[in-house]
Amino acid sequence: MTVTIAPALAPEDLARLTAVTTLIRANDTASVLAAAMPSLDEAERAALAAHTRFTHAAVLVFPRTLDGLGAELARRGIQVGQTIPSVVVRDRLSGRYGLPVEELTVGILRAAVTDRLGNPCELEIFAMATPPALVHVAEDERRHGRENHFALAVPRADAIVLCGLREIVAGRMRPDGGGYNGHEDNTILYFRDAQHPQPAFRRLELISAGKFPQLLDLHRRESAAGTHVLRLMTGAWATQAIAAAAELCLPDHLVTMSDLPSLAAATGTDGDSLGRLLRYLATLGLVRASEGGHALTELGSLLRSDVDGSLRPLALMYGGPFYRSFAELTAAVRTGEESYAKVFGEHHFAHMAADPELAELFHASMAASNAVFTDLARMIDFGRAKTVVDIAGGNGALLSRVLAANPPLHGVLLERPHALAVAETTLAPVADRCTLVAGDFTESVPSTGDVYLLSRVLHDWDDAQCRSILATIADAMPDHAELLVIERLLPDVEGGESLAVAWDVHMLCNVGGRERTESHYRALLAEAGFELTATVGLPLDTYVLRARKPLIPAAR
């Protein structure tokens, strides 16, 4: 006599099936997008909703056998179709628990359900046959729910659409593996947000008909958390590789030659070692392989020494003294004191002022953000002004651009004597309209300006010193004058993206100052007697804060 072993779904699995069915009936495409990724802006949510459809929610259950499972589910009111093999989930379980693939039997069963708007949807049931030897897998999976998910289908997918959708989702949820199911001709991309407050929305499946091997390979690689962390930890290597290329003037040589022997001879390097450096620079997008060697990319061209706005000085600074001081970042975090002084024995301004070559490199690196200066001269109307005062304007790069764009304007550069010596060269083309004033802006500033520029100065100082600097400027400024503060701004919300977030740590480590939010600067300005009238965006996550002294109503 043949004995049939019933699938025997455990009570906890039946409860989970009920919960997932309830989830489907309570949601639709718009609501699952809002619930799973609340940080999506309106345009991103609309793009996802236009290209995807809430198609199912899934749960992994653990019957003793798959034989007769459909009939048991039907007795419990869940009408499913034919069981088909699950390749992706089987392979994930195999890798997670170190089990041979051939020892696992995983199937997919689907039951028709409607969402809250009455649209057709599905309850997707992954079932793993669970003999006694695999009970530990069932217990662990029920506890963590790693394979439970909700799914968005991409009805009309191509590689470009799927890539764009993936990028939007990956900005909110970490890639979590995927695969290609040849039984259904589907490419599957999983994403996870392990900290989501609602467990039902912690995992998303983006499913598309067709095979997209390159995109799937990228997604799998980015799913490996250890790989991502390693990539982050080797950021210091990228800094040094870029600095080495700059020091060797490699970008300059790549303009006229591409073969390795010629490049090695021109840079005075070992050919094999230079080839390894070039290969790494290619992964950074700075060079690309070309016929017979390597060629410079558009990004790499920014490191040439002969281009306007060259970032070469920054590469040398970040790979030189700032790189050394960052090695003591832990000390800065523990003490709240800059690590630059710990490494070099004095604050970086004093250290660089004592070394003319280093001071010149620093001012050149500050001037490397010329895109900011170009846009400032274009976006701010200086037409009503006669005199613009650049406070602590370094080598005069900003003032030079403002004067070049406004021929009637007269300029005043206030700086320390060693900086003025460098600025004379920068300001030579407008020397007839420019006055160089030696002084300390923390003590006094000229009182003859209509517009005052304070570019990337306040972030060097703590709040108390900022208040003092702004008060000194307010005392000297005529009542009609305008103050333009140029700084990077920290995002007002935690987790927002901006270069200022990284630069804030740089300021802690190397300067002793800090980056700030717009509201923080607004408060500092107000305490010094200024009113923030506008904030204008510039390139490189920089902004100009326009401020004036409030007008005092005339007495009647």
Annotated catalytic residues are 459
| Helix, strand, coil % in the chain, rounded to nearest 5 | 45, 20, 35
By the 8 A CB rule, do 175 and 224 touch? no
Which DSSP letter does residue 516 get?
B
Query: Which is nearest to 398 in space by CA: 384, 416, 412, 417?
Result: 412
Rg (CA), the chain: 31
Nearest in space to 51 (alpha carbons), one of 179, 145, 158, 199: 158
Q: Specify whether the CB–CB gap between 47 and 112 falls below 8 A.
A: no
How many CA atoms, within 13 angstroms, populate the side-chain half-sphere of residue 41?
A: 3
**Residue whose structure tokens are 């001269």:** 377
Q: How far apart are CA 271 and CA 90, in angstroms?
A: 48
How distant is the alpha carbon of residue 247 from its chain centre? 27
Residue closest to 343 by CA, chosen among 503, 508, 510: 510
Structure tokens at 425: 């060269």
Strand order in the sheet with 482-488: 434-438, 410-415, 387-391, 451-455, 482-488, 542-548, 531-538
Burial 43-71 (b: 16+ CB within 10 A, else e): ebbebbbebbbbbbbbbbbbbbbbeebbe
Nearest in space to 371 (alpha carbons), one of 403, 397, 407? 397
Write out the two tokens for 117.
């708007």
Helix (H, G, I), strand (E, B) or coil at 451: strand
412 DSSP β-pair partners: 389, 435
User: Using an 8 Å Cβ cutoff, are 453 and 544 in contact?
Assistant: no
Neighbours of 324 (CB within 10 A): 14
How far is it, in rounded angstroms, from Cα 269 to Cα 278?
Answer: 12
How far is residue 20 CA from its own chain's centroid? 35
Query: β-strands 482-488, 434-438: how paired?
Result: unpaired
Locate tokens 């649209």: which residue?
A: 119
Whether 475 and 467 have beta carbons less than 8 Å apart is answered as: no
Burial class of residue 248, CB neighbours in 10 A (0-12, 13-18, 19+): middle
Please count the CA atoms within 13 angstroms of the CA of 360 that sit on its side-chain side. 7
Asked if residues 60 and 141 have their Cβ atoms less than 8 Å apart, the reply is yes
Query: Strand 387-391 vs strand 410-415: parallel, antiparallel, or unpaired?
Result: parallel
Query: Do 384 and 406 touch, CB atoms closer than 8 A?
Result: no
DSSP state letter for 254: H
